[in-house]
Amino acid sequence: MKIVVAEDEFLIADLLVVCLEEAGYEVHDAPHGAGALTLVRSLEPDLVITDFMMPLMTGLELAEAMKADTALQGIPIILVSGAQGGIARSRTDLFDLVFDKPYAMDRLLTAVADLGREKGQR
């Protein structure tokens, strides 16, 4: 399973990438939404995990751009956010799951595995 991670904060991005890789996923990351969108277009991943507040393009804008693109609108998106969880939860059309920072990595990994199984069944 291929995952694109969008996160500007180095420590969080680094930890997330390492944990996902240890769990056996193929992970690509970008320090902002714009970079992530480029990756999504070229890699067509199975899942996108994105932060909200990022330079150049926010997680919300990234999700909107993906949903507007027929080739990408089927890719599930998990939002991981500090303060904007509320805004994101009101947009169930954009995000499959919303995690508030700080979150337990185990819970995130379980959610990723669940989404992977669902996708496999589809």
We find the least distance from the C-beta atom of residue 33 to other proteins, in angstroms, to be 11
DSSP 59-84: HHHHHHHHHTSTTTTTS-EEEEESS-
Residue 65 makes contact with other proteins by CB under 8 A: no
Instruction: Specify burial of residue 16 (Cβ count, 10 A radius: 0-12, 13-18, 19+).
Output: buried
Binding mask 29-48 for other proteins (x = CB under 8 A): --xx----------------
Extract the tokens encoding 50.
């994105």
Residues 116, 24: Cα–Cα separation, whole Å: 12
Residue 94 makes contact with other proteins by CB under 8 A: no
Nearer to other proteins, 74 or 82 (CB): 82
User: Which stretch of DSSP H or E encloses residue 87?
Assistant: helix 85-89
Number of residues that bind other proteins (CB under 8 A): 20
Nearer to other proteins, 55 or 74 (CB): 55
We find the least distance from the C-beta atom of residue 2 to other proteins, in angstroms, to be 20
Nearer to other proteins, 32 or 48 (CB): 32
Residue 54 makes contact with other proteins by CB under 8 A: yes
- Do 57 and 32 form a contact (C-beta atoms < 8 A)? yes
We find the least distance from the C-beta atom of residue 8 to other proteins, in angstroms, to be 4
